[in-house]
Amino acid sequence: MKAVVIGTSHGGPKALQQLISALPVDFPVPVLIVLHRHPDGKARAENQLNLACVVTVKQAEEKETVEAGTVYFAPPGYHLLIEDDETLSLSVDEKVNYSRPSIDVLFESAADVYGENLVAILLTGANSDGAEGLRSVKEAGGITIVQKPEDAEAATMPKAALRLMKPDKVLSLSEITSCLSKFLLNHSVDFYECIKGVRS
């Protein structure tokens, strides 16, 4: 596994707080996040999480190279994409699913770059962004995880994905959290094994 991408909207800040604060400081891969929020918003979510978490949490900057143990947020009003050389790109292309940043845009570009070495997680949210992107990740061989709709603060986003595709796992937020941190506590543990463990 080389990267984790996460998409969420309504209920996202709370869910991310739980998920990101569980990541250890030596988290072995970068995490890229699209959180739908107001375009005038400053970096409040990043700053709060950066204070509360041991991993570095920051807003993505164009052309920066992603690093392990770092969590990058798409800036409000910009799509976030990743290039073949693992540098980040931003765009102000038209909105996708009424959203900029769009989860689909991030997931599809990450699927192009990382293929089977990608984990994509779709959490709580109030629209259908992310469903197409998750399908692209799966088609490229990556691992796809959707938060259980009944566990999500807003079930629309997980449900939209489940209507469109069959993810590898449908898990509660605490299962996703423990799965990610378990994998990261022992780098030798294969992520697939970890997911099976959560299931059984």
Partner 1 sequence: MNENEKLEAELLLQAIYQKYGYDFRSYAKASIRRRIKKHQAVSGFASISAMQHELIHNEQFFTTLLKELTVNVTEMFRDPDYFFSFRNQVIPVLAEKDHIQIWHAGCASGEEVYSMAIMLEEEGLAGRYRIYATDTCSEALNVAREGIYPVAIMQEGSVNYQKAGGRRSLSEYYTAHYDHVVMADRLKANLVFSEHNLVTDAVFSEMDCVVCRNVLIYFSRVLQDRVFKLFYDALPGGGFLFLGSKEHVRFSNLADKFVKVCGNEKIFKKVG
- Quick one: 193 exposed, middle or buried, by C-beta within 10 A (0-12, 13-18, 19+)? exposed
In the chain, where do the E strands start and end?
A: 3-8, 31-35, 56-59, 70-73, 79-82, 88-91, 118-122, 143-147, 169-171
Helix (H) or strand (E) holding 138: helix 131-139
Catalytic positions, please?
A: 9, 36, 129
- Among 1, 122, 153, 147, CA closest to 68: 1
d(C-alpha 23, C-alpha 19), whole Å: 7
In terms of phi and psi (left: phi > 0; alpha: psi -120 to 50; beta: otherwise), the region of 163 is alpha
Binding site residues, partner 1, CB under 8 A: 61-63, 75, 78-79, 81-84, 89-94, 105, 108-109, 112, 140
